[in-house]
Amino acid sequence: MIMNSMKSGMGTPVPGSGPPASECRRYTRRMSATAANERAQRLVLVLGVAVLGLAVAVGVFIRFQARDPGPPEEVPRALAIPALYGTMGLLAIMGALRRRPAIVAAAGVLCLAGSILSFATIEFAVPGFVLMLFSSRLQALPARHGSEAVVAVAAVVLVVGAAVALLGMTGGSCWQATGSPADPTYTAILCAGGASASGSVGAGQTFGSGSDSGALTTRGGAVEALLLLSTLTLTAVTGRAPTAAPV
The yes-or-no verdict on residue 199 having pLDDT over 50 is no
Q: Render pLDDT for 14-43 as a digit per residue (tens, 0 to 9).
A: 555 555 655 555 545 554 556 666 787 889
Q: Render pLDDT for 49-87 as a digit per residue (tens, 0 to 9).
A: 999 999 999 999 988 886 666 666 778 889 999 999 999
The beta strand positions in the chain, using DSSP E, are 170-180, 183-188, 206-216
Residues found in the chain? 247
Confidence of residue 117 (pLDDT cuts 50, 70, 90): confident
State pTM to two decimals: 0.73
| 27 three-class SS | helix
The residue among 216, 223, 204, 221 whose CA lies nearest residue 173 is: 216
Confidence of residue 198 (pLDDT cuts 50, 70, 90): very low
> Which residues does residue 178 pair with via DSSP β-bridges, in sequence order?
185, 206
Q: Exposure pattern of 30-51 as b/e (b: 16+ CB <10 Å)?
A: eeeeeeeeeebbebbbebbebb
What percent of the chain shows pLDDT beyond 70?
61
The yes-or-no verdict on residue 187 having pLDDT over 70 is no
| 221 three-class SS | helix
Q: Angle 187-63-206 (CA atoms, 0-180°, nearest 5)?
A: 20
The yes-or-no verdict on residue 194 having pLDDT over 50 is no
Q: Render pLDDT for 217-235 as a digit per residue (tens, 0 to 9).
A: 889 999 999 999 999 999 9
Query: Residue ranges of the domains in the chain?
Result: 37-140+147-169+225-240, 170-216
The yes-or-no verdict on residue 154 having pLDDT over 80 is yes
